[in-house]
């Protein structure tokens, strides 16, 4: 039975897949990131569908990425010989455009001896788990019943695809395509696509800024984050999967294959640190599109990657679930929530467009209007009850984090207005101070002198650490220092942070939320405790048990086991932010 630690991610910003150490594609949605799956044995071992290339013995292999790429190699050793499988989705520049076809390419190469391998390609028709009808060609198998043509093209004899195993004597190729099939000689195409894709990813990494320390973690997180960007519309998905539980037996199983505006903001912040800006420009198009659909700017917390909001949540009772954990859910009811923080996060996401001279040519009156409308909306809803960042499904109350983000919207709108619309600067400044005082009078516990999770409350929330990052008060303010310490005292478990400790709709959270610990690293660094920040970051590095450096949403602090949807954009964005905060700068390194 697969675990998250056994999985590698491949993709090309159009589609993605998870590859297990046993050589199986156990998760793949085509033709786009939020489509129904063709392969989903991750959620149902017997009926979910898989595409396996494995040794006859069934023994697992050892995985690694080709250096600084999203091209995955799985190497198998056996008594009859050894071989490797190279998995990737093509991505490279062609005709001055990014070429990202909906094609999963698998190349199998013998290394020593005469290994016997087993190949099995059994897709399913999405959530129905029905099997497609097969139609054989001379060098391909077509799978019928999808919205587009699905074809497996190979230079392996088709008869071998239905046998137990066969001898691998030379390099072989497989292309699973959705839509346009392969119509040219297979081997040269695969080899050309592999070389171009490796060259593309290595060039992309060379254009990343990295800190002196933790470079490996930053580069792998950057490559993983890029695969969560759906380039066609600019949407950024929260995770590759659905329904991986937050903890064993928790029932906290959600579909994260959509674009949360909040998650996109944190991801864009990570790309800014990396020195990549095209993702922000692409996301701007997505944001303008969804904003234009609602005259009152009633933004939803999340959207499909084409901007639609038909996200009715349903439970698939016939699916076994990840490691037998249920329920399996499709859609997400959080799309119906009020989450007032999104207005602040969108102003923050757009801020660099207005304060960085490199983007001066992109400033338009309509874009300035959008920022002002977002800030005005944040000002109107500040302090009102909502579901908050953690998407409570029970009783809503005024969430401090939501109010903090509304303050940030007004504060940053003032900064933008000073430069571009001076007449509005004073008004935004006045509202920002009003909301700040709302937080300091209604969301501070006078006994502990700390921020608290909700207005008038007493409990702590890891999201309060963002008050330090956003500079609600100077970093040396006693209330900021006390908030960091109290968050750690109440929420820390073996070096990791939970989101909160108060019971919610599903009980008390049992595991740590990966992002929160990286927020702690940032907060410690900002408040002048960089050595302590580095110790926290080093401890998390030692506990991450994924050989490939990929992170899920949650981690069990007792043993480092990952839970929650995987890989999680939030977690990898957190790694990048924390690494830059904890590392010395290049000038400090001499």
What crossing angle do the helices spanning 261-274 and 278-292 adopt, rounded to 10°? 160
Instruction: Please state the rounded mean pLDDT for residues 179-188.
Output: 94
Q: What are the tens digits of pLDDT across the range 513-528?
A: 999 999 999 999 999 9
Residue for token digits 């490796």?
A: 198
Assign residue 542 a region (left: φ > 0; alpha: ψ between -120 and 50; beta: otherwise).
Answer: alpha
Rounded to 5°, the CA angle 548-178-239 comes to 35
> Rounded CA gap, 294 and 316, in Å?
31
**pLDDT top residue among 2 and 186:** 186
If you compute the radius of gyration of the chain from its CA atoms, what whole number of angstroms results?
A: 24
Domain ranges of the chain: 4-205, 207-582
Print burial letters for 414-449: b (CB count within 10 Å at least 16), e (below 16).
Answer: bbbbeebbeebbebbbebbeebbebbeebbbbeebe
- Tell me the H-state helices in 293-424: 341-355, 365-381, 400-420
**Residue 84 three-state SS:** strand
Which pLDDT belongs to residue 226?
98
Is it the case that residue 590 has pLDDT exceeding 80? no
Distances (CA, A) of 117 to 48, 80, 159, 166, 253: 22, 10, 14, 6, 35
> Rounded CA gap, 165 and 119, in Å?
7
Which pLDDT belongs to residue 192?
98
pLDDT band at 545 (very low <50, low <70, confident <90, very high): low
Distances (CA, A) of 159 to 142, 163, 483: 15, 7, 65
Q: pTM of the predicted model, to two decimals? A: 0.97
Which pLDDT belongs to residue 395?
78
Is it the case that residue 1 has pLDDT exceeding 80? no
> Rounded CA gap, 163 and 117, in Å?
10
- Tell me the H-state helices in 443-506: 466-469, 478-491
**Residue 214 three-state SS:** coil
pLDDT band at 546 (very low <50, low <70, confident <90, very high): confident
Is it the case that residue 508 has pLDDT exceeding 80? no
Q: What are the tens digits of pLDDT across the range 192-251?
A: 999 999 999 999 999 999 999 999 999 999 999 999 999 999 999 999 999 999 999 999
pLDDT band at 168 (very low <50, low <70, confident <90, very high): very high
Strands (E), 221-341: 229-230, 235-236, 259-260, 302-303, 314-315, 329-330
Is it the case that residue 129 has pLDDT exceeding 70? yes
Q: Which fold has domain 207-582?
A: Glycosyltransferase (1.50.10)
Which pLDDT belongs to residue 288?
95
> What count of Cα atoms within 13 Å lies in the side-chain half-sphere of residue 395?
3
> Rounded CA gap, 568 and 513, in Å?
11
Q: Which fold has domain 4-205?
A: Beta-galactosidase; Chain A, domain 5 (2.70.98)
Q: What are the tens digits of pLDDT across the range 469-501?
A: 999 999 999 999 999 999 999 999 988 999 998
Is it the case that residue 383 has pLDDT exceeding 80? yes
Burial class (CB in 10 A: 0-12, 13-18, 19+), 131: middle
Burial class (CB in 10 A: 0-12, 13-18, 19+), 136: exposed
Q: What percent of the chain has pLDDT over 90?
A: 92
> Rounded CA gap, 14 and 171, in Å?
27
Is it the case that residue 589 has pLDDT exceeding 90? no
> What count of Cα atoms within 13 Å lies in the side-chain half-sphere of residue 442?
18
Q: What are the tens digits of pLDDT across the range 25-79?
A: 999 999 999 999 999 999 999 999 999 999 999 999 999 999 999 999 999 999 9
Q: What tokens were used for 171?
A: 């390099």
């Amino acid at each position: 039975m697969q675990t998250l630690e056994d999985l590698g991610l491949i993709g090309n910003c159009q589609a993605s897949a998870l590859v297990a150490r046993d050589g199986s594609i156990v998760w793949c949605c085509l033709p786009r990131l939020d489509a129904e799956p063709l392969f989903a044995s991750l959620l149902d071992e017997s009926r979910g569908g898989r595409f396996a290339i494995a040794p006859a013995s069934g023994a697992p292999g050892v995985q690694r990425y080709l250096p600084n790429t999203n091209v995955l190699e799985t190497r198998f050793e056996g008594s009859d010989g050894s071989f490797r499988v190279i998995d990737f989705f093509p991505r490279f520049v062609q005709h001055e455009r990014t070429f990202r076809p909906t094609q999963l390419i698998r190349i199998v190469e013998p290394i020593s001896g005469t290994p016997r391998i087993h190949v099995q390609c059994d897709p399913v028709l999405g959530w129905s788990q029905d099997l497609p009808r097969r139609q054989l060609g001379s060098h391909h198998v077509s799978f019928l019943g999808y919205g587009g043509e699905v074809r497996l093209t190979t230079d392996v004899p088709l008869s071998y695809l239905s046998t137990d195993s066969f001898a691998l004597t030379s390099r072989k190729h497989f292309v699973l395509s959705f839509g346009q099939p392969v119509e040219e000689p297979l081997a040269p195409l695969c080899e050309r696509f592999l070389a171009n894709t490796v060259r593309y990813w290595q060039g992309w990494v060379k254009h990343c800024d990295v800190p002196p320390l933790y470079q490996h973690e930053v580069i792998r997180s950057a490559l993983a984050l890029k695969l969560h960007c759906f380039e066609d519309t600019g949407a950024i998905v929260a995770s590759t999967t659905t329904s991986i539980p937050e903890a064993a037996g928790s029932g906290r199983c959600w579909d994260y294959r959509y674009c949360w505006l909040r998650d996109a903001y944190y991801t864009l912040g990570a790309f800014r640190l990396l020195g990549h800006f095209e993702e922000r420009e692409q996301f701007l198009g997505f944001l303008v599109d969804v904003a234009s659909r609602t005259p009152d700017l009633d933004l939803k917390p999340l959207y499909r990657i084409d901007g639609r909001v038909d996200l009715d949540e349903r439970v698939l009772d016939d699916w076994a679930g990840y490691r037998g954990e249920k329920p399996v859910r499709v859609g997400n009811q959080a799309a119906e929530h009020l989450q007032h923080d999104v207005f602040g996060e969108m102003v923050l996401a757009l801020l660099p467009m207005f304060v960085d001279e490199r983007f001066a040519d992109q400033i338009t009156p309509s874009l300035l209007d959008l920022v002002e409308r977002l800030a005005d909306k944040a000002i109107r809803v500040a302090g009102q009850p909502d579901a908050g960042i953690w998407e409570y499904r029970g009783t809503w109350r005024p969430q401090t984090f939501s109010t903090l983000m509304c303050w940030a919207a007004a504060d940053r709108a003032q900064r933008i207005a000073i430069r571009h619309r001076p007449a509005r600067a004073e008004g935004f400044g006045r509202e920002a101070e009003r909301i700040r005082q709302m937080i300091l009078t209604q969301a501070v516990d006078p006994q502990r002198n700390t921020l608290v999770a909700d207005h008038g409350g007493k409990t702590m929330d890891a999201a309060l650490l963002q008050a330090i990052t956003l500079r609600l008060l100077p970093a040396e303010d006693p209330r900021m220092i006390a908030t960091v310490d109290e968050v750690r005292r109440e929420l820390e478990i073996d070096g990791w942070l939970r989101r909160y400790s108060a019971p919610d709709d599903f009980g008390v959270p049992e595991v740590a939320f990966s992002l929160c610990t990286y927020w702690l690293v940032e907060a410690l660094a900002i408040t002048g405790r960089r050595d302590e920040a580095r110790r926290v970051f080093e401890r998390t590095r030692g506990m991450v048990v994924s050989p490939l450096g990929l992170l899920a949403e949650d981690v069990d602090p007792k043993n480092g086991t990952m839970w929650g949807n995987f890989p999680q954009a939030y977690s990898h964005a957190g790694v990048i932010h924390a690494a830059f905060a904890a590392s010395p700068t290049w000038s400090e390194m001499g």
